[in-house]
């Protein structure tokens, strides 16, 4: 069985930063990148809010740079997926999708979270060309433009309010005849003159020749007064939640009801000694690349300290 001092599961800013720090600490880490090498940033175009890139940087290029840096310090970066892991006793044993087994003294979980989508074919067609699941990441590109946010919870309201500070007009498409958000968020949305709430609305599709130019929507779908029409917009933001990619750790690590891994205070330590969580798989609040990178750094430092002790 192959053995490593440090196994990193997942890539993206958290995984690659953990790999850089673990590599520099001579832990000779092995990193399995998962289905989406580079994580969620590979689905966006220009990243403008990561420090050190004054002109912005292509998401794929940024992840390639981080991977190269991780390799430079001795990380064994591999494609493939960890499909099973036994955290019942140390050293921990992980199994890959090829059936290989790896014994690890420490494990850094950086599997991220996946944004939930409506399942419309047009969402993939216009990904990075008007479709986004992160207003903080991409809202800047829609200054003084018109956008739509899909969702009725606190996250959707927060995204709508954030975008209202940048955009000319924000439509909030809500499937139900009411908002699920807290009373405070409801009032903030209702009192914002740039936000128009469209209750009982569903998106059917998107259209546009050079990116999103509008959405096909339906009012009161399936009812006698159903009405379909086109809504002119420049951007389409999904805010219907995220699903942390943590299924293989269920029953082994403490998680919240959604599946986010619980960490101890401001540390990346999980409920199992020697296992650390970094990035969006343990962060339901911020979900930003720079925050994920910082947590990856902390996870590697904690892994090094754990091994030294």
Question: Each residue of 264-309: pLDDT tens digit?
Answer: 999 999 999 999 999 999 999 888 999 999 999 999 999 999 999 9
Please list, in sequence order, all residues whose beta carbon lies within 8 angstroms of the beta carbon of residue 83, skipping any fewer than 6 positions away. 95, 96, 97, 248
Please report the sign of the dihedral spanned by the C-alpha atoms of residue 48, residue 53, residue 54, residue 56.
Answer: negative
Longest dimension (CA), the chain: 69
Asked if residue 36 has pLDDT above 80, the reply is no
Q: What is the CATH number of domain 2-114+242-308?
A: 3.50.50.60
pLDDT category at 41 given cuts 50, 70, 90 is confident
277 closest CA partner among 91, 98, 259, 88: 259
Asked if residue 204 has pLDDT above 90, the reply is yes
pLDDT of residue 14: 97
Question: Each residue of 168-200: pLDDT tens digit?
Answer: 999 999 999 999 999 999 999 999 999 999 999
In terms of pLDDT, which residue wins out, 300 or 49? 300
Element (H, E) at 276: strand 275-277
pLDDT of residue 80: 93
CB contact at 8 A, 14 and 289: no
CATH architecture of 117-238: 3-Layer(bba) Sandwich (3.50)
271 closest CA partner among 298, 294, 297, 252: 252
Out of 33, 134, 157, 297, which one is annotated catalytic? 134
DSSP labels, the chain: -EEEEEEEE--HHHHHHHHHHHHHTT---EEE-BSSTTGGGGGSSEE-SSTT-TT-EEHHHHHHHHHHHHHHTT-EEE-B-EEEEE-SSSSEEEEETTS-EEEEEEEEE---EEE-----HHHHHTBTTTEES-HHHHGGGGTTSEEEEE--SHHHHHHHHHHHTT-SEEEEEESSSS--S-HHHHHHHHT-TTEEEEETEEEEEEE-SSS--EEEEEESTTSTT-EEEEEE-SEEEE-S-EEES-GGGTTTS-B-SSSPBP-STTS-B-SSTTEEE-GGGG-SS---HHHHHHHHHHHHHHHHHHHH-
Task: Indicate the average pLDDT of the chain.
Answer: 95
Out of 138, 234, 280, 283, which one is annotated catalytic? 138
Element (H, E) at 161: helix 154-164
Question: Each residue of 99-142: pLDDT tens digit?
Answer: 999 999 999 999 999 989 999 999 999 998 999 998 988 999 99
Q: For the whole model, what pTM was predicted?
A: 0.82
Out of 6, 137, 157, 297, which one is annotated catalytic? 137
Asked if residue 167 has pLDDT above 80, the reply is yes
281 part of the active site: no
137 part of the active site: yes
pLDDT of residue 25: 98
Question: Helices 183-190 and 154-164, interaxial angle, to 10°?
Answer: 30
Rounded Cα gap, residues 283 and 280, in angstroms? 5
33 part of the active site: no
Question: Each residue of 77-106: pLDDT tens digit?
Answer: 999 999 999 999 999 999 999 999 999 999
Question: Each residue of 224-269: pLDDT tens digit?
Answer: 999 999 999 999 999 998 899 999 999 999 999 999 999 999 999 9
Domain(s) labelled CATH 3.50.50.60 in the chain stretch across 2-114+242-308, 117-238
pLDDT of residue 120: 95
């Amino acid at each position: 069985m192959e053995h490593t001092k440090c196994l990193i599961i997942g890539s993206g800013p958290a995984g690659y930063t953990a790999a850089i720090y673990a590599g520099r600490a001579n832990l000779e880490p092995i990193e399995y990148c998962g289905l989406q090498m580079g994580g969620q940033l590979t689905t966006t175009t220009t990243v403008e809010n990561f420090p050190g890139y004054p002109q912005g940087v292509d998401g794929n290029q940024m992840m390639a740079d981080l991977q190269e840096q991780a390799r430079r310090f001795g990380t064994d970066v591999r494609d493939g997926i960890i499909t099973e892991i036994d955290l019942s006793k140390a050293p921990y044993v992980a199994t890959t999708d090829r059936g290989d087994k790896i014994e690890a003294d420490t494990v850094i979980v950086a599997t991220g979270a996946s944004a939930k989508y409506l399942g419309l074919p047009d969402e993939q067609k216009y990904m990075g060309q008007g479709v986004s699941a992160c207003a903080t990441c991409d809202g800047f590109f829609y200054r003084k433009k018109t956008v739509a946010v899909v969702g009725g919870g606190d996250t959707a309201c927060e995204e709508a309010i954030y975008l209202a500070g940048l955009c000319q007009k924000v439509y909030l498409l809500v499937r139900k005849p009411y908002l699920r958000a807290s009373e405070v968020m409801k009032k903030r949305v209702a009192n914002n003159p740039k936000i128009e709430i469209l209750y009982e609305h569903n998106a059917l599709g998107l259209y546009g020749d050079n990116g999103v130019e509008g959405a096909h929507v339906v009012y009161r779908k399936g009812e006698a007064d159903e009405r379909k029409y086109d809504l002119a917009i420049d951007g389409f933001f999904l805010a219907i939640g995220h699903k942390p990619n943590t299924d293989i750790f269920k029953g082994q690590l403490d998680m919240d009801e959604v599946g986010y891994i619980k960490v101890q205070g401001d540390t990346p330590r999980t409920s199992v000694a020697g296992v650390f969580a970094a990035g969006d798989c343990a962060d339901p609040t911020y979900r930003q690349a720079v925050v994920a990178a910082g947590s990856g750094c902390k996870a590697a430092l904690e892994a090094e300290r754990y091994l030294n002790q």
